């Protein structure tokens, strides 16, 4: 069994705010991230595929194909966008936390990877904070 990983990056703005909470509660919960004027991150995300090495190709998956999928399905949809407003469809109207963004990335990538190879999406919000998502397993 082999795991292969591809890394991409994008920049995006967001505001963490739940419509179920008052402005005061959102500010208490999310702190500076609840800024009504938004704030941005330079995100880095990794997609890991897990599967056997095909003896005919010597590859688990063609990384050039994975690169194309990641750029088309994620980077082009969110790079230099406001996740709350410009990418609300991508986020499926979820609060754009790192956790929910990782789920949205998984959903976009999973639709294009056959054979159950998608193993993990790792999203770095900054160099110290990251989340890992392994799907609904």
Q: Which residues are catalytic?
A: 33, 80, 125
Instruction: Write the DSSP symbol of residue 69.
Output: H
Instruction: Write the DSSP symbol of residue 54.
Output: P
Contacts of 65-73 spanning 24+ positions with Cβ under 8 A:
66/4, 66/6, 66/113, 67/6, 67/8, 69/109, 69/112, 69/113, 70/6, 70/8, 70/45, 70/109, 71/8, 73/108, 73/109, 73/111, 73/112
């Amino acid at each position: 069994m082999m795991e292969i990983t591809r890394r991409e990056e994008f920049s995006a703005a967001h505001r963490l705010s739940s419509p179920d909470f008052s402005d005061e509660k959102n500010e208490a919960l999310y702190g500076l991230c609840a800024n009504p004027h938004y704030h941005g991150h330079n995100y880095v995300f990794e997609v890991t595929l897990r599967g056997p090495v095909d003896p005919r190709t010597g590859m688990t998956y063609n990384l050039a194909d994975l690169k194309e999928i990641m750029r088309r399905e994620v980077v082009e949809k969110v790079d230099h966008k406001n996740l709350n407003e410009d990418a609300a469809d991508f986020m499926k109207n979820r609060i754009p936390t790192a956790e929910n963004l990782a789920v949205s990335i998984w959903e976009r990538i999973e639709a294009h990877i056959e054979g159950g190879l998608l193993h993990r999406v790792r999203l770095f919000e900054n160099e110290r904070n990251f989340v890992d998502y392994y799907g609904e397993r």
